[in-house]
Amino acid sequence: MVDSGAVVVTRDLTVGYPGAHRFDAVRGVDLRIEPGELVGVVGETGAGKSTLAQVLAGRTTAKGGPRVVGGSASVLGMRVERPGRATTRVLGAQVGYLPQHAGRALVPGLTVAENVTAPLFERDRRFDQRDAGVRAAELVDAVQLPLAIMSRYPWELSAGQRQRVAIARSLILQPMLWIADEPTSSVDVATRGPVLDTLLELHRERVFSAVIVSHDAAVMHRTTNRVLVMHRGLLIAAGTAEQVLADPTHPYVRGLRDDYFLRTGAISVPATR
């Protein structure tokens, strides 16, 4: 039975990759995300973070992609274990998805403006060009890029600038749920903080739910209401960043705490937002 009150609900979710060497990347995860909630998913490479993000974005039909092999998952009231065309179309319009290294996937022959607005015209070929341009300009400005960049091509931009363009593109449809896999990858340290603050401001203005995947506990502490820690496909800790880092019981979580202190220079974990 689908829980229509929550944005995301998973029950005993197990996700694997088919093939001769099949393995389960996510094992037995129970998760509930409420409307407007910001949830972080943190873990090392291979923990299952990106696989979980793909499932929640409804990306379970691509060849070689993840498959739900146990349990259940619903997003915005729709079952996503084996989504049909209609469900995939609705999820594509209501779930903004920023995959890993999204800046590398921009279409090189399109300008920044055309890359950012492309999802609007994929959904509706008759979408108003002026309205699309205004939306794109607002988002490009929001991710700390000059509007002069709108007429440039991806190959003319730095890796960090391309990543921010990809963020703008993933938000252009004004999604109800935003799933971002390492959103600040390639973004230089000086710009990373302002970009994260901008994302928080956009969240306050538009009131969407978000799942933010990262390996960085400091990013999780800065941006999320609640943190989930994954290790080898299992959910091993959950709570506010303060709760998770202040009293770690798992060796991996203790490592996260130590890394947080090293990166931030803090001597204790400050209260969350």
pLDDT-derived band at 268, boundaries 50, 70, 90: low
pLDDT-derived band at 62, boundaries 50, 70, 90: confident
CATH number of domain containing 226 = 3.40.50.300
Range of the domain at 149: 8-264
219 assigned to some structural domain: yes
78 assigned to some structural domain: yes
CA gap 98, 139 in Å, rounded: 15
pLDDT-derived band at 271, boundaries 50, 70, 90: low
| Average pLDDT rounded to a whole number, residues 80-104 | 90
Q: How many domains does the chain have?
A: 1
Q: Global pTM?
A: 0.89
CA gap 70, 23 in Å, rounded: 13
16 assigned to some structural domain: yes
pLDDT of residue 130: 96
216 assigned to some structural domain: yes
Report how many helices (DSSP H) and strands (DSSP E) the chain contains, helices first.
9, 10
pLDDT of residue 1: 44
Is the pLDDT at 270 greater than 70? The verdict is: no
* Helix or strand (DSSP H, E) at 96: strand 95-98
